[in-house]
Structure 1
Amino acid sequence: MSGEARTGERPELNARRLIFVSLGLLIGSTVLAILTLHTEVPQQPLPVTLAAVAGTAAWVLGGIRLLARFRQPGPASAVFVIGYVVLSGLLIWCNPFFGFFAWSGYLFIVHTLSERWLMAGVSGVALVTALSQTGGFETLQDTGGRVFFAGLFLANAVLAFIMTRFQLGQLRNSQRRLAVIDELAQANAKLEAALKENAGLHAQLLVQAHEAGVLDERQRMAGEIHDVLAQGLTGIVTQLEAAEAQPGERDRHLGAAKRLARESLAEARRSVRALRPQQLDGAGLPAALGEVVETWASLHDIRADLIITGTERRLLPEIEATLLRTAQEALANVARHAGAGRVGLTLSYMEDLVTLDVRDDGAGFDPEEPREITETGGFGLAAMRERLTRIAGTLAVESEPGAGTALSACVPAIALGGTP
């Protein structure tokens, strides 16, 4: 708080220090007065002097303790300073050496009076101090003594005012520093509380992150089970039904069912270990898609074509695996629901995107109509969309009854090295 804003507020009153200084100077001045009893120094009888000392001591002790209870200067402060100046004058009348005690009045002015009354207080203390320096009241009886007193008074007043203002500034600077220290302590306490709160929030976030990770892993496993086991089992059932319906092709269909069972088992083990699809081991996405399309076409006796456009490049394993799983699920949906005679797949490499389009000429469906999840399907589109969302991809489906289906998956083209 600036000095201008505190014109009505005095510096903190240190009662113990003021009592120690003032009473110390009063005792010292009393000792000097006793030592000069038999000299030519103007003085009053010792009992009068001691009575004035006792009264002054009582005034100082009682006044300082009373003022220590008040934060704002008021009438009590003015009464105390006036009494102090009057008693100082009385002591100087008893013996001029009590001027040493009168000097302590400057300290009381700083701690008791507001700035508006500062000059008045300084003038009063300077008055009794100059009276002591001129040798007491007897020097005022002639003109020369009065002129000398006036000069000392002005010198004391100017010097005391400058020093008092300086002391007042130092006291206020000290109070500002203490206030800043208090504010810093409060800020540190708040910071410590905030750190404790953040630690609690961090622990809570860790728990939530763990729960989210568990949920994400469950969703991943659900998708893998659908993509791998459901597709494999569907193919196996299809081949077994074909073997029963076509006795002449029985061995071929049984062999295909066995191969599908082995592949599904291997893929299931790989899915549990969160590994990439087997088709991508040692091969890029175009080659893996070609293998999937060729195998699917031979199993279902449906024509399937794959077209690659753009500049082929290796992508992040997560992106390639997601596109491959999307193609597998799309083809599985065609085999289960579409009744199509032809399927076309297009893998397009663009500057910052890679798209996979799957089109069939099958029965189609209404995309706006909710699909019930049953034993025969219904989870496929949701699983594809969820899998693509995890890598910032999108899925668009266009279809209508009797007009086939077009599916388009779009993912960011993040190369294996980390750049598009």
Structure 2
Amino acid sequence: MEIGQHVIAAGLAAIGAIRAVAAGTPIAAAIIAGVAILAWHTAGALLPLRSRARSAAIWWLVGFGAVWIAAVAVSPEFVWVAFLLWLLAGHLLPLRWGLVFSGVVFAVVVVGPIVHHGGTSYANIFGPLIGGVFAFGISRGYLQLLRDAAERERLLSSLTRAQHEMADLQDELALAQREAGAIAERTRISRDIHDTVAQGLSSIRLLAHAGAARSTDAEAARTLSQLEDLAGDSLGDVRRIVAALAPAELDGNGLAEALKRMLDRTQQEAGLRTELHVDESLPTLPTAVEVALLRTAQSALANVRLHAGASRVVISLIDDEGSVRLDMIDDGVGFDVSTWERDRESGSSSYGLRFIRARLRELGGGLDIESAPGEGTAISVSVPIHPEQTPRASGLAAAPASARPASAAQTASPAQPDSAAQPASPETKETP
């Protein structure tokens, strides 16, 4: 387009100068007028290199119009340059001012021959009019093409950036799910050790202590005392293993502090505004409940970052009369819950939400989701504060307990059949 303007400017200036000389205009005046037009146009070509201000280009066009009017005053043959002015007006000026400028140019085209020759013809009126409309329309169309190209470039850049962000979020989500799976397995192992090995060692220690206290045989009492000490040492080791397998995020101040750190990290990384509300009456929660709620919040927050397009997330921990409730609300794009429920029934819904439901079901809890397209999403999780053990854990934990009567009967003296049923003293009783 720029090269074409230079060619048009040079051609029209040359035609104007030649026709002016042919019409009787002094050669020097015609050449000066033509050179002035070319010089001003060339200065405009250098303008973008020195100034990017749109106002400078507009003032340059006004100056170009003044130079052209001066050239028309020298000879009406320079009205040919009006075609270039109409092109520039459509390109540089807003539509309203472009039409005003084009109207002024057309008026000069009509008046110029009348001033010089005392009259004009219909051809000198309608010819420039048609040419001006054509030139102005071409220029506006070209400008719209440039705008469309810039918009497509912007959209392409935005799409590319969104794809990169989506890939990063998917990587983060995959990593979070892998970590959640590993930690869930560690938590399960920790719970199983607590419910089986730790309970068994605690029972052995209590029975050994009771047997040593009742025994009249010094050697047997010493052996039972050693057994009690050995069981106590092993129980301490098991407790340290259980503590080491617990999630690192729950170290320190428990679930509320872990959620706060998670939200702060999300706010820094994703730019989301986050809030955390915790009931002051919320009691200390069992580790299994804290782990389930923390993993649920992490998985739900990962879904918000990946799919919701939200700007604000609010998490609330609520004491709900024997249960603890975790509510998460975002102002994202939302989704159709009925469609999601159908996908869940067919097994094609999000694995993350399916895992959340399975984890909560183990603790006797539940998950509710409220959402609609364009209205954000609300997730509510409810878990009993003292959840019942799963059948598997209960069965494993019951084994040591079922063995206690037999062990007690073996260590009890025949003369004291009821002493085995007596509880251990408070000073020696241990809880796993």
TM-score under structure 2 length normalisation = 0.43
TM-score under structure 1 length normalisation = 0.44
Q: Report the structure number with the largest CA radius of gyration.
A: 1
Greater RCO, CA 8 A, separation 6+: 2
